[in-house]
A and B are shown apart, each in its own frame.
Chain A
Amino acid sequence: MSEPLTRQEVAKVAELAMLELSEDELITFTGQLAAVLEHAQDIDDLDVGDVPPTNHPYPLTNVFRDDVIEELDDIRTEVLAAAPESEDGQFRVPPALGEED
């Protein structure tokens, strides 16, 4: 965590997050993200090995409701109408394996 962030790492992270960066953006973002990570160094120096992590600030786990059938509005038409493209009651996307030019 103490190694400075590289452009290659930012390019990899962008790819994982499905974002395309221009060369200029890559340079700018690398500097900005490195500054934030450098600020976060202060917690890196803390010894918290025996402190349990907090995932969630209120102790609720395994929340269940009664298994009863409720009447729901049929919003299928509205949902599909909000989609960029739909067909036969389903979301339509470009081919999964189509070749980019």
Chain B
Amino acid sequence: MSGHSARALAASVASGAVSAAEVVEEYLGRIDEREHEVHAFNLVTADAARAAAEQIDRRVAAGETIGPLAGVPIALKDNLCTRGVATTCSSKILEGWIPPYDATVVERLAAAGAIMVGKTNLDEFAMGSSTENSAFGPTRNPLDLDRVPGGSSGGSAAAVAAGFAPLSLGSDTGGSIRQPAALCGVVGMKPSYGTVSRYGLIAFASSLDQIGPFSRDVADSALLFETIAGHDGRDSTSIPAPLEPITPRLDRGVDGLRVGVVSELAGGTLEGFQPEVLAQTRRAAEALAAAGAVVADVSVPSTIYGLSAYYVIAPAEASSNLARYDGVRYGHREPGRANTAAMMTASRTRGFGAEVKRRIMLGTYGLSAGYHDAFYGKAQRVRTLIIRDFERAYRDFDVLLSPTSPCVAFPFGAKADPLTMYLNDVATIPSNLAGHPAISVPFGTGEDGMPVGVQVMAPMLGEPVMYQVAAELERASTDGTGA
């Protein structure tokens, strides 16, 4: 059962062929077996999952209509607020905090009948690319326990790769869904900015953050995205328009579609990409061409400035968003301080880890008097350049292709220098800056047999065509014509 798709599980539960209780026990059993070595979760919510399963089974028995994900276990990144269930962002500053409300995505999953099995580990406040920055210890890659699962949504990627749940949710500010998906050999998607409500997602960088799905296959990814997407009046950045259905597009093939391989990210300008990763990206492009797509290289020149713009913009927004953690209303407070300011400083100093402090300081510096225009203003203008370059490329191409990550999963401690770690995000960041959707699909293996992810990017609200191409890549990857 644990190899089954979410679609198959939901169909079996709905038909009564299997009970939700049996499904949940199966997955909790897998968690029992391997969670001690993987550490995908900050918290496993076994009792609540069993109770939710019983409720689904009662409704099936009573002949009631149940949701499209009824009985399907799901793991949630621990920066999504869950009413009555601790939400930590893998930070000591929020350790023990119990949110008084559910994120909109959590409400929508519950309405669809999905069953939360736990809250997954992350780099503290989603800042990192390896999950090594968690205050509660790293998550290990289920495919090789000596390697990182990627990050920041490493726990969510590992949970799906280890079979702890067929689905999970992560958040992606600069690649935090797609890069761990690539490193763990699963599917991960960052939606268009504004398609999924961030109400109840603990903010990192508000002009970049999006919530998105992890799954074992492309069709489950589309199903989960459709479940959580759609306008929400509680998020002022939520797009007030209906989304085009995706599922009907998945079997359509790619005949005649125009696919551009971004030359800067596929062996051109930017260095540091492993040769096997570049080779698999080329093979993915060839597989799409063999399936009828028109494939050509395309230059998106300003993507090479994405990393620099991102590491000015994201820390600037983070320094503002994280100002709220001051020990007053929630989270950690250092005791024994004589005045409010001293208490706040002590609480923040003790509660935040090194990477979070680095980003807060970087952002504070970039926004401070005398530097604001030189750093933040300039980075925002570069952001416009990147958007313009993408728009130019999308005049000639329906989707763009690149590697997701420059490298396969790396050993713990291999990228201890912060800038070296930041370079992991070089291919994923441009989509965040532009607000465009992008998906990572497993496509063969690279160094030491570890999985490679290929990224399909599309213009704003281009999820349908993006998924159409992703589904073709998946077919090519599994039938042997590609990887």
A interface, CB within 8 angstroms of B: 1, 5, 9-10, 13-14, 16-20, 29, 32-33, 35-37, 39-44, 46, 48, 51-58, 60, 63, 65, 75, 78-79, 81-85, 91, 93-101
Contact = CB atoms under 8 A, between A and B. Distances in A.
Interface of B: 97-98, 100-101, 192-194, 207, 233, 236-237, 239, 304-305, 307-309, 311-312, 319, 326-333, 337-346, 348-349, 352, 357-358, 360-362, 364-365, 368, 371, 374-375, 377-385, 387, 417-419, 422, 433-436, 460
B348 A18 contact: yes
Contact of A29 (B327, B361, B371, B384): B361
B358 A94 contact: no
A58 B193 contact: yes
Contacts of A95: 338-340
Nearest to B376: A53
24 contacts: A10-B365, A14-B361, A19-B345, A19-B352, A29-B358, A37-B365, A41-B308, A43-B382, A44-B378, A48-B378, A54-B433, A56-B237, A57-B434, A84-B330, A84-B331, A91-B328, A93-B328, A93-B343, A94-B337, A95-B339, A98-B339, A98-B342, A99-B338, A99-B339
A39 B307 contact: yes
A23 B264 CA distance: 41
Contact of B368 (A13, A52, A94): A13
A48 B385 contact: yes
A10 B5 CA distance: 50
B374 A54 contact: no
B345 A20 contact: yes
A35 B419 contact: yes
A35 B382 CA distance: 20
Contacts of A65: 233
A6 to B, nearest CB: 11
Contacts of B337: 94, 98, 100
A36 B362 contact: yes
Contact of A39 (B345, B361, B382, B419): B419
